Structure 1
Amino acid sequence: MTKLKLVILGGVRESGKNMYAIEVDDKIFVCDFGLKYPDSDLMGIDVVIPDMNYLEENADKVVGIFLTHGHADAIGALPYFLADHKVPVFGSELTLALAKMYTNQHPKTKKFHNFHVINEKSAIDFDNVTVSFFKTTHSIPGSLGIVIDTPVGQVVYTGDFKFDQSASKMYQTDYARIADIGKKKVIALLSDSANAESPYQMASEREISDSINEAFQYHTGRIIVASVASNIMRVQQVLNAAAATNRRVVLTGRDLEKIVRTALKMNYLRLPNPEILATAKEMKDLNPEETVVLETGRMGEPLKSLQRMATSRHRSVTITEGDLVYIVSTPSHAMETTLARTKDLIYRAGGDVKTVSDDMHVSGHASKTDLQLMINMLHPQYVVPVEGEFRQLAAHSHIAAEVGIDEQHMLIPKIGDVIGYTKGHLSINGSVQGGDTMIDGIGVGDIGNIVLRDRKMLSEDGIMIAVVTIDRKKKRIVARPKIQSRGFVYIKTSKDLLAECGNIVSSTIQKDLDNKEFDWGHLKQNVRDSLSRYLFEQTKRRPVILPVIMEASQNSAKRQ
């Protein structure tokens, strides 16, 4: 009897970090290998990837990694697994080209070449399992859904998708192929939920293109466009609108340039005319009405780049009177505060702001009717909402109920859940280790809750350092404590406070020296506790307190 399990390693009850392992007997098929960008409370963290402990322990069972599209939420975590496990990676031509950009950035995966190009017509046999694909519409070419065909039925993972009847040939969904998949038994549908709670029908890309053209046509000054670097469709629309209004486009940011050059080389982007792109140096010689600046920001953060432009901290662009800042990607709900702050800074700098969502509902993800159409074409026994926060997964479940899916056949998993198929039924019947792995510089997973807590405390209340030298044998303090503060109080106006802190440190240390059972750990903790109580009483703040206690000897002073 075939054993089928769905192991949820990321992408549920969160935005991004998609990773789903389909386990059939002794084979594991991994669908997507994504990351997410950190929230503002994860201070200093560059990116967040899934906990890969389960895949590490079962690496010998992983027969392949199958990618749906080329965005970071589907491919960004690849280098952190491929560095030690050279498993084959499958994806469309553009998806793999962008995946190689990630692997080439890491020394351990620069020489990884086990990539295999597939398309919507490909079918790969793994003994009793066949993996095939179907073409979907998303904001990047080469987007595919994945079908894992097992002896007990099919598991379908949509990846990011939407239905757009006016999509160009490069982006068109293969409806006939989806309908054919639905003619066979579909046990589970893992479907995109990122836009499930929106009650509105999304605007077509043709309507969005017309809106961008109109904005370019009626603005007479410089236009600064903020977009996501990997939204190839939107980049093409900006290039077309610039050409139609006799403007040149300046690309800012290495990530954007790499993606655009790659897409151009593979004919997924087309330049309306050979002179459309300009360098940052050439921009200085262009009139404002001839200029479009396309900004995507570092690591897909265009809003932060716009803030730097508005406050004259950007390396090449400063927002001035008469500039139009046109935001052509739709920020998530979590970014609404950041968006409002960014708009305020732009207006203060003299610019004007327009967003593509001002006049229409825009998303690269399936609307309510799209999700229902997908369900009606595939006829799944079970619907497993993925790719979204909990409220979006719950909304997807309500949508599925409206087209007749029984409540018992809708599973909303959490990260680490194992969904097993037993006697014709799917159920959550176990769990594996799951969660977030923080990436900070070259450190992978070495940032935990304690470090993040300390960073938060440092950012809010600063640090106080107490340096003192003692003679343990003579049970006395050799030199009066020196108190240093950073980010806590202004030293010049807080001399009395710092002097009293010195007295408290001296008194606390002397008490410990007089104690027969002297202990270094207790001594430092007592200093922290006594200083912390006093400072909170005086300031209602709790800085990080760092005691530095040295022991004097006749020949030298050694740090304990």
Structure 2
Amino acid sequence: MSKIKIAALGGVREFGKNMYVVEVDDVIFVLDAGLKYPETEMLGVDFVIPDLSYLVENADRVAGVFLTHGHPDSIGALPYLVSEVPVPVFGSQLTIELAKIGVKNFDGSKKFDDFHVVDESTEIDFGTAVISFFATTHTIPESLGIVVGTQDGNIVYTGDFKFDPAVGEGYKTNIGRLAEIGSQGVLALLSESANALTNLQPASESEIADKIFDTIADWEGRVIIASVAGNLARIQQVIDSAIKVGRHIAFTGHDMDRIVKTASDLGKLRIDDAEMIINPKDINQYADREILILETGRMGEPLKTLGDMATGRHRAVKIKDGDLVYTVTSPTISYETMVAKTENIVYRAGGIMKMLSSDLIVSGHANSRDLQFLLDILQPKNLMPVQGEYRELQAHAERAMEVGILPENIFLAKRGEVVTFDATGNFEPNGVIAAENVMIDGSGVGDIGNIVLRDRKILSEDGIFIAVITISKHEKKIISKTKVHTRGFVYVKNSRNLMKEAAVKVDEKVKTYLAGANFDWAEIKSEIRDTLGKFLYDQTKRRPVVLPVVMEVRQNDFRQKRHGKNKKKVEK
């Protein structure tokens, strides 16, 4: 039996950040390289990627990266991976072109160009395993599942998928190919779980297209469509509907122009009348009844940008009376609060907000019946539910047991948990590898940790309190008494007594400390911080970030002072 290991670096017990590692006789195959958008408490973080340290440490054993589709949850971390581990990248034509956009935009990977286009007829023999693919249905064309073929059976990774016979060319699942893979024997199935909690049948793509058309056609004012940039199926439906009713289309999303151009150049997005596409700066040249604005936001998330439109901060569009804001993709549960806040400010600006998901069940992911249908076709020996929160993985496991998968053959993995296969071919836990969250903030990669996030949270809730004092370490005395400053803590004009008392407390503590035999910069700052923290909490029941700034006047500074040269050493 081959020596096989499977581990999830992301995408389990969370939504997004899909990255899975399959090792066959020491050769590593990486399945997807995705990111996820930050949760509410991750203040200031742009997005989160998997911990790549295991792959960096074993770069010489990595055969390649295999991508299922072109959404950020599958390709968003690729620039960071190939900048550290420059191995071949495989995916469908559209997926590769979208991946190139991200890779070229990141300084560390812009020179990388080892891309390879595959389709479901492709087989790649790496010696220890043969990699092949199968077409799946998702909200973006040319989505693929991945098969790692070993001498002991296939390891199948679905990527995002659903079953919908009504989809168009480029979106269809190849059921015959799935049956062929199942007949070869499936040792393990890594199957998505994002919609496993429901057995309700989502609307077909043709039903969704009709609903979008009716909504746009019936509205007299401007229509502002909010969509995820990578949902090309939905974008195609919006474009088709707008052109049919005679509305000019303005793309205002951050990456939208490049995505549309890439998809249309490849024939994956059809624009029947190119003259209907206009520059956002020309919106005011047309009657409201003739305009449709398609907003996809930065990094593919449009909700924040809708808020900017409603409050007048958007570069091209301000929501006004009579505007319809129509959200045509379903936000995740973690965005429900943001949806409610966005809806509120849209109404305050004079617009009306509607959601496609309020009228139809909309999802690009397999429901519980789809998952059972796939299990019935593939008949896997083992199942690892992936791509979902824990409750969704658990629901997937329960549905699998209903169709005969034994509990001992189902593994609800944590990030970094490694499983191997015992002599009978069943899952066996076998250690862990590094798989922490790596937070991206601007150009910083991984330099934001829990301590920084904690400080940001405190700053956002209780503000900052700064105390500045000047001392003479040599003479053990205070040269300039404490001056205090604050931001986001209290309203200074109404809290002058509090500020004065706080300054006195610092002066007293520093005077007492200087009278002692020992002196340590870290210690004196800690004493100030503790004193101020306790005092401010007693007075206000708040805990601001306390920042002591201690400046030292050196011995010869008193002489130099006469000549206007007063040098100070600052300790923060």
TM-score (norm 2): 0.97
CA distance in 2, matches of 1:324, 1:305: 15
Q: How many residues align?
A: 560
Structure 1 contact 239–276 (Cα < 8 Å) conserved:
no
1:512 deviates by 0.5
Q: Does 1:535 align with 2:546?
A: no
Q: Give structure 1 stretches of 5+ with no counterpart.
A: none
Shifted more, 486-495 versus 238-247: the winner is 486-495
Structure 1 contact 96–115 (Cα < 8 Å) conserved:
yes
CA distance in 1, matches of 2:519, 2:77: 49
1:473 deviates by 2.5
CA distance in 1, matches of 2:391, 2:447: 31
CA distance in 2, matches of 1:466, 1:204: 62
Amino acid at match of 2:41: D
Match of 1:485 in 2: 486
Q: State how 1:442-457 maps to structure 2 within 5 Å.
A: 442-457=443-458
SS at match of 1:299: coil
CA distance in 2, matches of 1:234, 1:199: 23
Amino acid at match of 1:509: V
Match of 2:50 in 1: 50
CA distance in 2, matches of 1:420, 1:128: 16
Match of 1:557 in 2: 568
Amino acid at match of 1:50: P
Q: State how 1:468-507 maps to structure 2 within 5 Å.
A: 468-507=469-508
CA deviation map 1:535-559 (0-9, x unaligned): 0011111111111111112233222
Q: State how 1:237-248 maps to structure 2 within 5 Å.
A: 237-248=237-248
1:84 deviates by 2.6
CA distance in 2, matches of 1:200, 1:379: 23
CA distance in 2, matches of 1:345, 1:472: 55
Match of 1:69 in 2: 69
Q: State how 1:281-430 maps to structure 2 within 5 Å.
A: 281-423=281-423, 424-430=425-431
SS at match of 1:420: strand
1:433 deviates by 1.2
Amino acid at match of 2:533: S
CA distance in 1, matches of 2:538, 2:449: 30
Match of 1:141 in 2: 141
CA distance in 2, matches of 1:294, 1:276: 13
SS at match of 2:195: coil
Shifted more, 420-429 versus 167-176: the winner is 420-429
CA distance in 2, matches of 1:521, 1:337: 42
Amino acid at match of 1:321: D
1:250 deviates by 0.4
1:375 deviates by 0.5
Shifted more, 291-300 versus 77-86: the winner is 77-86
Structure 1 contact 103–112 (Cα < 8 Å) conserved:
yes
SS at match of 2:538: helix
SS at match of 2:374: helix
CA deviation map 1:510-547 (0-9, x unaligned): 00011012222211111111111110011111111111
CA deviation map 1:458-514 (0-9, x unaligned): 111111111111122222111111111111112222111111111000000000011
Structure 2 contact 249–291 (Cα < 8 Å) conserved:
yes
Match of 1:178 in 2: 178
CA deviation map 1:27-84 (0-9, x unaligned): 0010000011111211111110001111111111100100000000001111112113
CA distance in 1, matches of 2:441, 2:128: 41
1:199 deviates by 2.7
CA deviation map 1:235-267 (0-9, x unaligned): 100001001111111000230111011101111
CA distance in 1, matches of 2:526, 2:71: 48
Structure 1 contact 347–353 (Cα < 8 Å) conserved:
yes
1:128 deviates by 3.2
Match of 2:155 in 1: 155
Shifted more, 482-491 versus 380-389: the winner is 482-491
Q: Give structure 2 stretches of 5+ with no counterpart.
A: 558-566
CA distance in 1, matches of 2:542, 2:107: 43
Q: State how 1:251-290 maps to structure 2 within 5 Å.
A: 251-290=251-290
Structure 2 contact 253–294 (Cα < 8 Å) conserved:
no
Match of 2:512 in 1: 511
1:184 deviates by 1.3
Structure 1 contact 43–456 (Cα < 8 Å) conserved:
yes
1:300 deviates by 1.8
Amino acid at match of 2:523: H
* Pairwise CA RMSD: 1.0
TM-score (norm 1): 0.99
CA distance in 2, matches of 1:550, 1:13: 49
Amino acid at match of 1:486: R
SS at match of 2:100: helix
Shifted more, 460-469 versus 471-480: the winner is 471-480
Match of 1:81 in 2: 81
Give me the identity figure in percent: 50
Shifted more, 515-524 versus 388-397: the winner is 515-524
Amino acid at match of 1:460: E
CA deviation map 1:355-384 (0-9, x unaligned): 111111100000111111110100001111
1:315 deviates by 1.3
1:337 deviates by 1.1
1:352 deviates by 1.2
Structure 1 contact 468–548 (Cα < 8 Å) conserved:
yes
CA distance in 2, matches of 1:310, 1:16: 28
Structure 1 contact 201–368 (Cα < 8 Å) conserved:
no
CA distance in 1, matches of 2:200, 2:418: 33
Amino acid at match of 1:273: D
Query: Runs in 1 of length 4+ with deviation above 4 angstroms?
Result: none
CA distance in 1, matches of 2:484, 2:552: 17
CA distance in 1, matches of 2:42, 2:274: 43
